[in-house]
Amino acid sequence: MRIQPTPDALVELTASWDGERFPDGRPRVPDDVLEQLRLATTEEAWGVLRREGYDRQFSGEWRETHPGTILVGRAVTSQFLPHRPDYNAATVAAGAREGHREPDKQNSWIIATLQPGDVMVTDIFGKVRDGTVVGDNLSTAVAARTGVGAVIHGGVRDLQGIEQLGGGVNFFFRDAHPTAIRDVTLAGINIPVKIGEATVLPGDVVLGTPSGLIFIPPHLAARVAERSADIRVRDVFGKLRLSEQIYTSAEIDVGTWASHIEEDFQRWRKENA
């Protein structure tokens, strides 16, 4: 039994990615792609993913600690299960073999693995009471290690303290509760998890916006960034031509422009490059 998969197992799990990886095998989408994705909308990402057959990567109806702050980073996934004594004993033994020496602080095991630019993505089966994965102290540790934040499919505590964190972080969570985490056992780190209706793999790019969360497979991250940039340029052109009354809203507000509008756009884009 392992808490984290071996590097070879992670490579096999995320075989669609052929780029750089972390030493543990997790895909490492480049920093410049992450920065570009900060300008992307949920809808732009969803459109690309749906065309590629990834129809179930969105999860909505979240609370946020820092509304208005866009969350972008590489997923470090983890999962908790309801406590069962024999399984917990096996987890504690496996954790000790992998260097985790605090059996009663299994949520801290996850935090110890985080790198800059990571998003801690934890499924605790929606548990809020006694399911508070982080409070203000552990959230401070997450923020310090990642500079980004977390997604908790469950609860948080000390919400007022978490809301005071600076540095552009954001934590998405289901609800807040004053209880501490208890009666659960860590099932694994960097394993497939279910967040809402989405399947999330380690290394997925997490995009959190006011609309909700979308989990972008690493091999599609650059494509989403490129599509988002193209849409932003097209929006500038479309609004310009509408203000000039050259085209009607019916001509501009369509999925695919007529050939003469597309040709006009390409000329304008080249002239304004």
User: Structural domain tally of the chain?
Assistant: 2
Residues 21, 144, single domain; the answer is yes
Residues 266, 148, single domain; the answer is no
Residues 64, 192, single domain; the answer is yes
Residues 152, 226, single domain; the answer is no
Residues 37, 87, single domain; the answer is yes
In a domain, 1, yes or no: no
Residues 82, 196, single domain; the answer is yes
pLDDT in tens, 135-193: 999 999 999 999 999 999 999 999 999 999 999 999 999 999 999 999 999 999 999 99
The binding site for Mg(2+) consists of 158
Work out the pLDDT band at 99, boundaries 50, 70, 90.
very high
The reported pLDDT for the residue numbered 255 is: 79
In a domain, 107, yes or no: yes
Residues 95, 160, single domain; the answer is yes
Distance separating alpha carbons of residues 163 and 132, to the nearest angstrom: 15
The binding site for substrate consists of 135-138, 157
User: Residue with structure tokens 């807040």?
Assistant: 176
In a domain, 2, yes or no: no
Going by DSSP bridges, is the β-strand pair 212-216/58-59 parallel, antiparallel, or unpaired?
antiparallel
- The whole-angstrom distance between residue 124's C-alpha and the CA centroid of its chain comes to 16
The reported pLDDT for the residue numbered 168 is: 95
Residues 62, 141, single domain; the answer is yes
The binding site consists of 135-138, 157-158
CA nearest to 78, candidates 121, 135, 38: 121
Paired with 76 in beta bridges are 120
Distance separating alpha carbons of residues 4 and 76, to the nearest angstrom: 11
**Is the model's pLDDT at 254 over the cut of 90?**
no
pLDDT in tens, 223-244: 999 999 998 899 999 999 999 9
In a domain, 201, yes or no: yes
Residues 232, 199, single domain; the answer is no
In a domain, 105, yes or no: yes
Distance separating alpha carbons of residues 241 and 196, to the nearest angstrom: 41
CA nearest to 161, candidates 119, 130, 132: 132
Work out the pLDDT band at 121, boundaries 50, 70, 90.
very high
Residues 41, 170, single domain; the answer is yes
Paired with 58 in beta bridges are 214
Residues 146, 176, single domain; the answer is yes
The whole domain housing 28 covers 7-217
Contacts 24+ apart (CB under 8 A), 65-68: 65/139, 65/149, 65/156, 65/159, 65/162, 65/163, 65/165, 65/169, 65/170, 65/171, 65/173, 66/149, 66/163, 66/165, 66/168, 66/169, 66/170, 66/171, 67/210, 68/210
Q: Indicate which CATH number applies to the domain containing 106.
A: 3.50.30.40
Distance separating alpha carbons of residues 99 and 223, to the nearest angstrom: 38
Of 217, 238, 254, which residue constitutes the final position of a domain? 217
In a domain, 159, yes or no: yes
Degrees, nearest 5: CA angle 30-153-31? 10
Residues 164, 207, single domain; the answer is yes
The reported pLDDT for the residue numbered 206 is: 98
